[in-house]
C-alpha cells in the first residue's frame, strides 16, 4: 500500500538513522509529498536557522500516489529553508526517482546535520546506508548518476544528485535526476552541498499494493483519455513546453532585455518550431521523452547541432530555458540556448534563476552600474551569447568577482554591487521571476507576488485566465469543490475575480504536489483537466483512503497555511520588497512597450493591485497583513503548531 511507505530520519553529523511508519492520521491531515514536507519543515526547523548550517532540515519526498495508477505519478519534492531567500525553500521534479524511492519502501526523508566529508545516501528495499562519496565529488549531474550505478553494479538505480553548482554552494543550485529533471528553485542543491551530501540513490523491488486494481486500471484509462484529449497536451507532446512561447510572445507577455520590453522581436530562431526541427534533425522523427507513467511526453531529446559542445545529448529546452537564455538576455540563436541549457543541466543550477540574474547584470552593464572592472573584462552586452555562456560557467564555479557575487543570488549581489542595482532586479521574496511579463495580466501578477516560495509560476498561476474562457466555464471550474458566487471575468487584463482564481489554483497545485502528480495533468494549462473530484477517486482506488473532493481541498489549504506560517516566522511582511508579497516598482511604473493593442501602454495599477491582495488575504482568512487569523488556524486544525506529531 502507498500508505505503508515509511519516513526516515537521517542525521549526517552522527550517522544515526531512524525509520518510522507514517500514521494514517498524518496522511489524513497532510497526504504526503509537498504537504507533509511543509508540516515537517515547520516542526523540525528552528526559527532563524542558518540555511547552510547543520540545523537546516532537508526534506526529500515522493508524493502519496508516486508509482501508482493515477497518471504521471512521478514527482519528487524537496524542501528546506532556502539559502537564496531565507524563506520557504521548495522544489519539485519529475523523472523516475520518486517512484523508485517508493518501491524502495520510503516516502519521506528528513535529513539533518552535516557530513564530515562528501557522502551519498543509499536506499535499498527498506534499508538505508550512508556511503563515502569522495569518488563522486567534482562530477557533473549525469556523471554522478552513472558512477553510482557502476559502483553498486545496478543500472536501475535512480538518484537525486547535485552537480558542481551545488558543491560550490551556488545559492540557486538544483537537486536533479536523470538528464534534466530538476528540483530547480530556491537552491535545494545548495542545501545538499552544504551538508556534504552529493546524492541520494534509490532502488526498490518492494510491492506497492493497489487497493482496487481493476478500478484503478479502468479509472487510469479514463484519466489518460481526458489528459490526451486536451489540445494543450497534444501540442505539448509535440513541441514540449516551448510551445507556450509562440502565443505568449505574440501578444506581448515575454520580458526581454531584463525588463525593458515585453516581446522578443525578430526571434524566429528561438521559436518552438525551430527547437523541434533541431530535435528531429538530431534525434529522428520520434524525439519526445516521458517521465514515469506519463502520456503527455513533453520532453524533447536533442543533440547540440554545432559549436564547441556539438553532438552532446540533452533534453529540453523547456520554456524556462527559452526565456532565460533567449528572451531575457536578448539572444536570438537556438544553438546558444541549447548549449546554455546543457551547461546548467550538467552543472546543476536553476536555468530560470541564472538566466534572469545574468540578464539583470547585462542591464546593469548597459547602465554603467557594472563595468569591465567588475566583469573582469567580459563584455556583458545584451545579445552576447558567448558572454552569457562564460558567465554561467563563472557563476557555477564561483570564478571572478562577479561570478562569485552573482552566485549568492540577486538580493545579496545587489548589496555587493550597490548603487541603484536593486531597483532593476526583477524578483519577489529574493527569487527572480520567470521570463513571462505580467504587467498586462493582473491575475498572473498576483500569483507571482504571493507565491509561497518567492516569485513563481507553479504555485498559484491561473494560466487558463489567458484563454478568455466564457464566464460560465470559469464558474464551473472555480466554484468546485467549494462554492464561489463572486464575480469572475473572462478578460485577462481585468482585476475582477482574479484573487479567487489565484486562491483556487494555489489549493489545486498543492493538491497535485501532495499526490506526486504532474501539473500538466490538472487545471494548469488546460481547462478540461482533472482536479479535486478525480483525485478523490484515484486516491480511493489506489490506496483505499476515502477522502471527498472538499476534504482534499481542506488538506491543501491546511498545507498552504503551513507554508505561510513558516514564511511569517522567517520574517515575511506584506509590503517588504525583499521578503513580502510585493512586486518590483517597474510593474507599476514602466508601461508595456510592445505587443497586442490592449497590452501596449499597460502597467499594474497600484490601487487595484492592493485591493486584489486584500481580497486574496480575505479568501484565505488572513488579516490585512497576510497573517492567518486565530479562527482560520483553528478551522484548519493549525492552532497548536508546531505540534510535533511526527
Partner 1 sequence: MAKVLMVNYEKCTGCRLCELVCSVVHEGVSNPFRSRIKIMKWESEGLYIPMSCQQCEDAPCMNVCPVKAISRDEKLNMVMVDYNVCIGCRMCVTACPFGAMSFDSVGKKVIKCDLCDGDPQCVRFCETKALEYVEADQVSVRKKRDAAHRLSVAEKEGAALQANVV
Question: Which residues are at the interface with partner 1 (CB under 8 A)?
Answer: 67-69, 96, 103, 142, 146, 178-179, 205-210, 213, 216-217, 220-221, 224, 228, 283-295, 297, 301, 313, 315
Q: Measured from the CB atom, is 297 or 569 closer to partner 1?
A: 297
Q: Measured from the CB atom, is 31 or 289 closer to partner 1?
A: 289
Q: Measured from the CB atom, is 144 or 262 closer to partner 1?
A: 144
Give, rounded to a whole angstrom, the gap between the first and last alpha carbons of the chain: 20
Helix axes 231-239, 243-251, angle to 10 degrees: 110
Scan for cell 485577462, then name that residue: 492
Q: Measured from the CB atom, is 134 or 217 closer to partner 1?
A: 217
Between CA 233 and CA 241 the distance in angstroms is: 10
CB of 315 to partner 1, least distance (A): 7
CB of 294 to partner 1, least distance (A): 5
CB of 66 to partner 1, least distance (A): 9
CA angle 160–166–167, rounded 5-degree value: 110
Parallel/antiparallel/unpaired status of strands 175-177 and 288-289: unpaired
CB of 75 to partner 1, least distance (A): 14
CB of 221 to partner 1, least distance (A): 7
Between CA 394 and CA 405 the distance in angstroms is: 10
Backbone angles phi, psi at 303, to 5 degrees: -115, 145
Q: Measured from the CB atom, is 209 or 635 closer to partner 1?
A: 209
With a CB cutoff of 8 Å and minimum separation 6, the contacts of 218 are none
* Conformation bin of residue 398: beta by default, left when phi > 0, alpha when psi is -120 to 50: left
Between CA 27 and CA 25 the distance in angstroms is: 5
Q: Measured from the CB atom, is 49 or 211 closer to partner 1?
A: 211
Between CA 405 and CA 70 the distance in angstroms is: 44
Q: Measured from the CB atom, is 56 or 177 closer to partner 1?
A: 177
To the nearest 10°, report the CA torsion of 523, 527, 531, 534: -150
CB of 328 to partner 1, least distance (A): 28
CB of 152 to partner 1, least distance (A): 16
- Please give the grid coordinates belonging to residue 225: 483519455
- Please give the grid coordinates belonging to residue 121: 545516501
Q: Measured from the CB atom, is 148 or 572 closer to partner 1?
A: 148
Give kind and range of the element (H or E) at residue 514: helix 498-515
Between CA 196 and CA 51 the distance in angstroms is: 14
CB of 177 to partner 1, least distance (A): 10
Amino acid at each position: 500500500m502507498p500508505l505503508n511507505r515509511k519516513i526516515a530520519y537521517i542525521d549526517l553529523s552522527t550517522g544515526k538513522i531512524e525509520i518510522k511508519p507514517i500514521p494514517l492520521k498524518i496522511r489524513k491531515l497532510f497526504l504526503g509529498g509537498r504537504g507533509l514536507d511543509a508540516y515537517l519543515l515547520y516542526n523540525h526547523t528552528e526559527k532563524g536557522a542558518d540555511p547552510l548550517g547543520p540545523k537546516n532540515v532537508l526534506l526529500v519526498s515522493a508524493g502519496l500516489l508516486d508509482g501508482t495508477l493515477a497518471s504521471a505519478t512521478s514527482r519528487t519534492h524537496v524542501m528546506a529553508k532556502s539559502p537564496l531567500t531565507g524563506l520557504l525553500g521548495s522544489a519539485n521534479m519529475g523523472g523516475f526517482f520518486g517512484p523508485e524511492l517508493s518501491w524502495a519502501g520510503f516516502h519521506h526523508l528528513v535529513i539533518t546535520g552535516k557530513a564530515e566529508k562528501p557522502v551519498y545516501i543509499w536506499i535499498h528495499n527498506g534499508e538505508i546506508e550512508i556511503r563515502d562519496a569522495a569518488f563522486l565529488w567534482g562530477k557533473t549531474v549525469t556523471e554522478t548518476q552513472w558512477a553510482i550505478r557502476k559502483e553498486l553494479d545496478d543500472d536501475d538505480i535512480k538518484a537525486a544528485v547535485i552537480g558542481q553548482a551545488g558543491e560550490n554552494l551556488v545559492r540557486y543550485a538544483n537537486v536533479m535526476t536523470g538528464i534534466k529533471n530538476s528540483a530547480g528553485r530556491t537552491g535545494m542543491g545548495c542545501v545538499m552541498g552544504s551538508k556534504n551530501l552529493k546524492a541520494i540513490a534509490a532502488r526498490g523491488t518492494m510491492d506497492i499494493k493497489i487497493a482496487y486494481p481493476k478500478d484503478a486500471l479502468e479509472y487510469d484509462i479514463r484519466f489518460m483519455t481526458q489528459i490526451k484529449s486536451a489540445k494543450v497536451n497534444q501540442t505539448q507532446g509535440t513541441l514540449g513546453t516551448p510551445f507556450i512561447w509562440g502565443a505568449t510572445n505574440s501578444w506581448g507577455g515575454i520580458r526581454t532585455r531584463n525588463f525593458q520590453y515585453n516581446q522578443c522581436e525578430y526571434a524566429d530562431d528561438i521559436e518552438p518550431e525551430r527547437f523541434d526541427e533541431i530535435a528531429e534533425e538530431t534525434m529522428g522523427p520520434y524525439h519526445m521523452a516521458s517521465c514515469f507513467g506519463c502520456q503527455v511526453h513533453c520532453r524533447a531529446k536533442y543533440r547540440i547541432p554545432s559549436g564547441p559542445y556539438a553532438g552532446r545529448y540533452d533534453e529540453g529546452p523547456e520554456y524556462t530555458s527559452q526565456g532565460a537564455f533567449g528572451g531575457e538576455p536578448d539572444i536570438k540563436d537556438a544553438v546558444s540556448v541549447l548549449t546554455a541549457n546543457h551547461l546548467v543541466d550538467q552543472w546543476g543550477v536553476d536555468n530560470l534563476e541564472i538566466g534572469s540574474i545574468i540578464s539583470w547584470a547585462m542591464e546593469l552593464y548597459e547602465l554603467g552600474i557594472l563595468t569591465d572592472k567588475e566583469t573582469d573584462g567580459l563584455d556583458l552586452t545584451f545579445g552576447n551569447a558567448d558572454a552569457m555562456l562564460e558567465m554561467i560557467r563563472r557563476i557555477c564555479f564561483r570564478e571572478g568577482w562577479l561570478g562569485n557575487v552573482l552566485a549568492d543570488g540577486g538580493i545579496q549581489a545587489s548589496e555587493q554591487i550597490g548603487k541603484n542595482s536593486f531597483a532593476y532586479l526583477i524578483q519577489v521574496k529574493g527569487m527572480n521571476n520567470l521570463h513571462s511579463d505580467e504587467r498586462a495580466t493582473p491575475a498572473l501578477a498576483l500569483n507571482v507576488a504571493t507565491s509561497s516560495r518567492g516569485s513563481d509560476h507553479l504555485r498559484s498561476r491561473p494560466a487558463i485566465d489567458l484563454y478568455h474562457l466564457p464566464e460560465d466555464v470559469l464558474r464551473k471550474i472555480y466554484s468546485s469543490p467549494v462554492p464561489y458566487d463572486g464575480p469572475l471575468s473572462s478578460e485577462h487584463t481585468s482585476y475582477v475575480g482574479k484573487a479567487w482564481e489565484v486562491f483556487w489554483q494555489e489549493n489545486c497545485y498543492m493538491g497535485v504536489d501532495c499526490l506526486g502528480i504532474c501539473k500538466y495533468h490538472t487545471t494548469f494549462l488546460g481547462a478540461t483537466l482533472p482536479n479535486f473530484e478525480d483525485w478523490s477517486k484515484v486516491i480511493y482506488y489506489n490506496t483505499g483512503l476515502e477522502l471527498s473532493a472538499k476534504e482534499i481541498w481542506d488538506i491543501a489549504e491546511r498545507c498552504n497555511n503551513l507554508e505561510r506560517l513558516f514564511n511569517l516566522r522567517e520574517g515575511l511582511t506584506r509590503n517588504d520588497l525583499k521578503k513580502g508579497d510585493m512586486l518590483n516598482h517597474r510593474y507599476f511604473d514602466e508601461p508595456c512597450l510592445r505587443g497586442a493593442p490592449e497590452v501596449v501602454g499597460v502597467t499594474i495599477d497600484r490601487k487595484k493591485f492592493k485591493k486584489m491582495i486584500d481580497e486574496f488575504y480575505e479568501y484565505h482568512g488572513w488579516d490585512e497583513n497576510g497573517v492567518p487569523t486565530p479562527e482560520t488556524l483553528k478551522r484548519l486544525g493549525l492552532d497548536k503548531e508546531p505540534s510535533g506529531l511526527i
